[in-house]
Amino acid sequence: MEKSKEPPKYSDPPPGWTPAKNYEAEMEQPIVYTVAQPPVGPTPCRMVCPSCRADILTDLKRESTTKTHLMAVLMFVLFCWPCVCLPYCMDSCQNANHYCPNCNAFIGTYQS
């Protein structure tokens, strides 16, 4: 007696198949650094200024980002209004812009 082979189930992804959500997560990866930007951190960095070639300690200026505002909205929804100001006080929710103290050239941004 010959038993017919079961047709492959198309609803099941083959092993090793990457689900679509992983692909989306990959697409959402923001490009933080360009090639020209030196690696900068959340604290002032000692480096040679790409603009005036001076040996400098970068001037750090923090800037609120979209993430900061989103966190503020989240705080408002989840907790209460006094928490709204929290993201604006948290370093991790803000960009750190590095400037040259010598020539005021913009060096790079650190995004946490």
Tell me how far apart the alpha carbons of residues 102 and 99 are, in angstroms, rounded to a whole number: 9
> Closer to Zn ion at the Cβ: 38 or 67?
38
Alpha carbon separation from 66 to 34, 44, 69, 72 (Å, rounded): 20, 23, 5, 10
Q: Of these, 40, 45, 49, 96, which contacts Zn ion (CB under 5 A)?
A: 49
> Closer to Zn ion at the Cβ: 51 or 112?
51
Alpha carbon separation from 20 to 12, 13, 23, 100 (Å, rounded): 14, 11, 5, 43
User: Residue 76 Cβ, how far from Zn ion at the closest point, in Å?
Assistant: 40
| 102 in contact with Zn ion (CB under 5 A) | yes
Neighbours of 56 (CB within 10 A): 22
Q: Of these, 51, 64, 97, 109, which contacts Zn ion (CB under 5 A)?
A: 51
Query: Binding residues for Zn ion, how many (CB under 5 A)?
Result: 7
Interacting residues with Zn ion (CB under 5 A): 49, 51-52, 100, 102-103, 105
